[in-house]
């Protein structure tokens, strides 16, 4: 998974694609059968446009997209100096019953994936997942939640690094129209899908004409 986006980008470039990064689309409109894609740097013109953004971003660009609550999942990753975790007390991870911790699940990444263990030979990498309704700093909860779920007391001094990443549209919404206008296509979260399984299945159905 870590190399998926790089592989997709390389394949697209090999087929003649030109990829612009850090380029925010500010508006999208149809003009005489062609699409005007406006950015801070200018306007791109295309016959076909594929919107593969988050649902809120798609709704801001495409009026036909139904706005829905932005269901977020936050991942908090801890890099720990914790030899007491060498025995992998919970194997590769654990799911939490509601109310046990703020975290919904824990993955002991250096126990689950050999490549992570090789990349961090002197550390234990632990990832916790949280459901969010609004933006929140989860750092104050992470270490206590990890201690509870792993069954091992962990101290602040053992934390070498902590990173929080928020994923938008992390829970499925009701899928809408994949093609709200001629030449305009919605995929992934923009079309109301969440998770690779749902997105790949939708893409295959579309390709096969199901």
Give the per-residue pLDDT at 205. Answer: 72
Give the per-residue pLDDT at 176. Answer: 58
Distance CA 136, CA 157 (A): 23
> Cβ contacts of residue 141 below 8 Å, gap of 6+?
101, 102, 103, 130
49-107, pLDDT tens digit by residue? 999 888 888 889 998 887 766 678 899 999 999 999 999 999 999 999 888 999 999 99
Give the per-residue pLDDT at 157. Answer: 97
102-158, pLDDT tens digit by residue? 999 999 999 999 999 999 999 999 999 998 878 889 999 999 999 999 999 999 999
Residue 36, CA distances (Å) to 26, 44, 90, 188 in order: 11, 6, 53, 22
| DSSP one-letter code for 171 | S
Confidence label for 210 from pLDDT (cuts 50, 70 and 90) = very low
CB atoms within 10 A of CB 114: 9
Confidence label for 187 from pLDDT (cuts 50, 70 and 90) = confident
Instruction: Give the tokens for residue 142.
Output: 């992470």
Mean pLDDT (the chain, rounded):
88
| Average pLDDT over every residue of 167-181 | 67
Domain architecture of the chain: domains with CATH: 4-68+171-208 (3.50.50.60), 72-167 (3.90.660.20)
Confidence label for 179 from pLDDT (cuts 50, 70 and 90) = confident
Contact in structure between 128 and 75 (CB atoms under 8 Å): yes
| Average pLDDT over every residue of 199-203 | 72
Residue 38, CA distances (Å) to 31, 61, 105, 152 in order: 12, 10, 40, 53
Give the per-residue pLDDT at 209. Answer: 54
């Amino acid at each position: 998974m870590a190399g998926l986006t790089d592989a997709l980008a390389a394949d697209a470039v090999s087929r003649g694609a030109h990829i612009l990064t850090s380029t925010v689309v500010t508006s999208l409109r149809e003009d005489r059968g062609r699409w005007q894609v406006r950015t801070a740097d200018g306007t791109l013109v295309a016959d076909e446009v594929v919107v593969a953004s988050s649902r809120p971003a798609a709704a801001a660009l495409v009026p036909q997209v139904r706005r829905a609550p932005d269901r977020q999942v936050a991942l908090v990753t801890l890099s720990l100096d914790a030899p007491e975790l060498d025995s992998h007390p919970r194997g590769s991870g654990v799911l939490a019953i509601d109310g046990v911790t703020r975290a919904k699940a824990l993955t002991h990444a250096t126990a689950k994936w050999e490549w992570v263990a090789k990349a961090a030979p002197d550390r234990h990498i632990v990832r916790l997942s949280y459901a969010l309704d609004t933006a929140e700093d989860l750092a104050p909860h992470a270490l206590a939640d990890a201690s509870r779920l792993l069954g091992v007391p962990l101290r602040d001094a053992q934390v070498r690094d902590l990173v929080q990443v928020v994923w938008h549209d992390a829970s499925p919404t009701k899928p809408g129209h994949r093609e709200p206008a001629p030449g305009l296509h919605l995929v992934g979260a923009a079309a109301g899908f969440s998770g690779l399984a749902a997105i790949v299945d939708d893409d295959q159905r579309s390709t096969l004409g199901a």
